[in-house]
Amino acid sequence: MPILCPKCNGEVHFRGERQAVCSRHGGKFQVLYAAPHARLAASPETPTVSGIPCARHSQSAAVHRCKKCARGVCPVCDFFFGAGAHLCPECVVETPTSGLTERRRGALRLSYILAAVSTICLVMTVASFAAAFANGDAMALFLGFLFIVYGVVATSTVGFFVALETVDKYEGNPFQVWGSVAWNGLIFITCVGAPVGLLIFGSLGFFG
């Protein structure tokens, strides 16, 4: 089964395992997955994905979603690479400049926004705790504790798991992906550890 060029539908010929060339317009592409390991995964009897047509053959029902772009693929278009990685023809052969998919870019932006919000809230909470501790205000300490538990912890938890969603073992993970995971993870660990520390210090009588 030939692979068609995503730009002009010309037949793509492989040159080695990592490069392919379109026979029609001569465009060069990078193969993200080694061709010898690829195989057509589905048969016509494969259960279909409910209500989703194939992105390239609208008259055919999709049997899987492409792991990279989430478009539907029919048995003809489905390429399987193991561990649940089904890809469409466009994503099997892709230009080197493609970078992150739109879904991963969106998740990455959201994770950085949540990390920034969590950081600001954490700094404000620490400042409030310091002022309340200096004034001996037990109520302010209690309210700050609640803010950490229900505010900062919730935001950092969501940010951490959104950041993990941007990691993909089948695609490249540039430094900004790992930066988001590290930033959100650090805030998450700090926020979870802070209430535990306050409870321990409180039980030891540090707050009167």
Q: What is the pLDDT of residues 68-99, one digit of tens each?
A: 788 888 888 888 776 667 888 887 765 444 45
**Is residue 13 included in any domain, yes or no?**
yes
Note the pLDDT of residue 166.
82
Query: How much is the pTM?
Result: 0.46
Query: Residue 138 CA to chain centroid, in angstroms?
Result: 41
Looking at the fold, whether 61 and 144 belong to one and the same domain comes out as no
Looking at the fold, whether 58 and 130 belong to one and the same domain comes out as no
Q: Please work out, in degrees rounded to the nearest 5, the angle formed at the alpha carbon of residue 115 by the alpha carbons of 110 and 120.
A: 130
Among 44, 71, 94, where does a domain finish?
Answer: 94
Lowest mean pLDDT among 118-122, 130-134, 154-158: 130-134
Looking at the fold, whether 90 and 166 belong to one and the same domain comes out as no
Looking at the fold, whether 133 and 78 belong to one and the same domain comes out as no
**Is residue 29 included in any domain, yes or no?**
yes
Task: Say how many domains are in the chain.
Answer: 2
For residue 109, give the DSSP letter: H
For residue 148, give the DSSP letter: I
Among 45, 70, 94, where does a domain finish?
Answer: 94
Looking at the fold, whether 22 and 70 belong to one and the same domain comes out as yes
Looking at the fold, whether 113 and 185 belong to one and the same domain comes out as yes
What domain range is 55 assigned to? 3-94
Query: Residue 41 — pLDDT band, cuts 50, 70, 90?
Result: very low
Higher pLDDT, 33 or 79: 79
Higher pLDDT, 115 or 15: 115
Pairing of strands 3-4, 11-14: antiparallel
Looking at the fold, whether 109 and 18 belong to one and the same domain comes out as no
Query: Residue 44 — pLDDT band, cuts 50, 70, 90?
Result: very low
Confirm if 205 and 132 have CB atoms less than 8 A apart. Answer: no
Looking at the fold, whether 89 and 106 belong to one and the same domain comes out as no
**Is residue 208 included in any domain, yes or no?**
no
**Is residue 177 included in any domain, yes or no?**
yes
Mean pLDDT of the chain: 73
Looking at the fold, whether 129 and 197 belong to one and the same domain comes out as yes
Looking at the fold, whether 183 and 139 belong to one and the same domain comes out as yes
Q: Is the pLDDT of residue 106 over 60?
A: yes
**Is residue 51 included in any domain, yes or no?**
yes
Note the pLDDT of residue 163.
86
Looking at the fold, whether 122 and 175 belong to one and the same domain comes out as yes
Mean pLDDT on 118-142: 75
Q: Mark residue 51 as left, alpha or beta (left: phi above 0; alpha: psi -120 to 50; beta: remaining).
A: left
Query: Residue 50 — pLDDT band, cuts 50, 70, 90?
Result: low
Among 94, 114, 143, where does a domain finish?
Answer: 94
Looking at the fold, whether 122 and 85 belong to one and the same domain comes out as no
**Is residue 46 included in any domain, yes or no?**
yes
Q: Is the pLDDT of residue 48 over 80?
A: no
